[in-house]
Amino acid sequence: MRILVISDIHANLVALETVLADVGGAWDQIWCLGDLIGYGPRPNECVALLRTHNHISLSGNHDWAALGKLDVSEFNPEAQRAVAWTRSALSAETHAYLDALPAARVEKSFTLAHASPRYPVWEYILDLATAVANFDHFDTLRCLVGHSHVPLLFAMYANGSVDAFHPTYRETIYLEETRVIINPGSVGQPRDGDPRAAYALLDLAEMTWEFHRVAYPVQETQAQMRAADLPAPLIERLAYGW
Ligand code: ZN
């Protein structure tokens, strides 16, 4: 069974469509790690498109914010404006679908958590110390996370030491019996200085993982955001992958 692993779509329909076209039909199920909406201009359409496919999904902090399940007073002013716009744009159907999603779940030998297994909607796993701490917070061999919008793989060796690996794209990684925490990166708002949409392919039979990147027409999403009067910094950042 081949899994298309995606995260942090952030209502960027052009990016999501480009990812689905790039990967073609070479997968059986989508695992989406949350933040389907927030920031971007097409929340209902992204959720509807995901729902046309065989998939499972988590909810993230931006989904919670749009649903009113999260206090957004700590968000910066642009993010608060984007939350207000998303709330006003959300259909009752999208609202009900997102409201029913968990922030974490176990699937086969994987724990899936939007942010981290320790704090499923809050924590960014970007450094070794945070990764080391989180290996104590899941019982499965492997864990997949999103939230940071940065593709990364942390591996724990038999002696307990942990290493971080930045992706080499389209290279097959054999997960074997190694304990790992992996982030596929973000479809709709990458933050690693590379504006291309990120996704990954997981083969459960071979237990292999491949990081992928694909360029999408960023200016189309930016035009949709301008038309929706979303904040300029959120529009500009897409071009820089930040
Ligand atoms: Zn996100």
Residue 45 lies in a domain: yes
The band of 38, judged by pLDDT with boundaries at 50, 70 and 90, is very high
pLDDT at 48 over 90: yes
Share of the chain above pLDDT 70, in %: 100
Instruction: Give the range of the structural domain holding residue 38, as residue numbers without chain letter.
Output: 2-237
- Expressed in angstroms and rounded, the spacing between residue 62 Cα and the centre of ligand 1 is 7
- Expressed in angstroms and rounded, the spacing between residue 159 Cα and the centre of ligand 1 is 33
The band of 230, judged by pLDDT with boundaries at 50, 70 and 90, is very high
Cα separation, 105 vs 120, in Å, equals 10
Lowest mean pLDDT: which of 64-73, 110-119, 148-157? 64-73
Residue 242 lies in a domain: no
Residue 149 lies in a domain: yes
- Expressed in angstroms and rounded, the spacing between residue 148 Cα and the centre of ligand 1 is 7
pLDDT at residue 74 in the model:
85
Cα separation, 237 vs 106, in Å, equals 33
Mean of pLDDT values over 8-12: 98
pLDDT at residue 220 in the model:
98
Q: How far is CA 179 from the centre of its chain?
A: 20
Cα separation, 129 vs 120, in Å, equals 17
Do residues 225 and 12 make contact, with C-beta atoms less than 8 angstroms apart? no
Mean of pLDDT values over 67-80: 91
The band of 115, judged by pLDDT with boundaries at 50, 70 and 90, is very high
Other Cβ atoms within 10 Å of 2 Cβ, number: 16
- Expressed in angstroms and rounded, the spacing between residue 188 Cα and the centre of ligand 1 is 9
Query: 122-147, pLDDT tens digit by residue?
Result: 899 999 999 999 999 999 999 999 99
Residues with Cβ < 8 Å from 17, sequence gap 6 or more?
49, 216
Q: How many domains does the chain have?
A: 1
Residue 173 lies in a domain: yes
- Expressed in angstroms and rounded, the spacing between residue 125 Cα and the centre of ligand 1 is 13
Beta strands in 43-177 (DSSP E): 55-57, 104-107, 110-113, 142-145, 152-156, 162-165, 173-174
pLDDT at residue 194 in the model:
98
Residue 59 lies in a domain: yes
- Expressed in angstroms and rounded, the spacing between residue 60 Cα and the centre of ligand 1 is 7
pLDDT at 75 over 90: no
Nearest to 203 by CA among 9, 26, 21: 26
CATH number assigned to the domain comprising residue 57? 3.60.21.10
pLDDT at residue 66 in the model:
96
- Expressed in angstroms and rounded, the spacing between residue 16 Cα and the centre of ligand 1 is 14
- Pull the structure tokens for residue 205: 């039979």
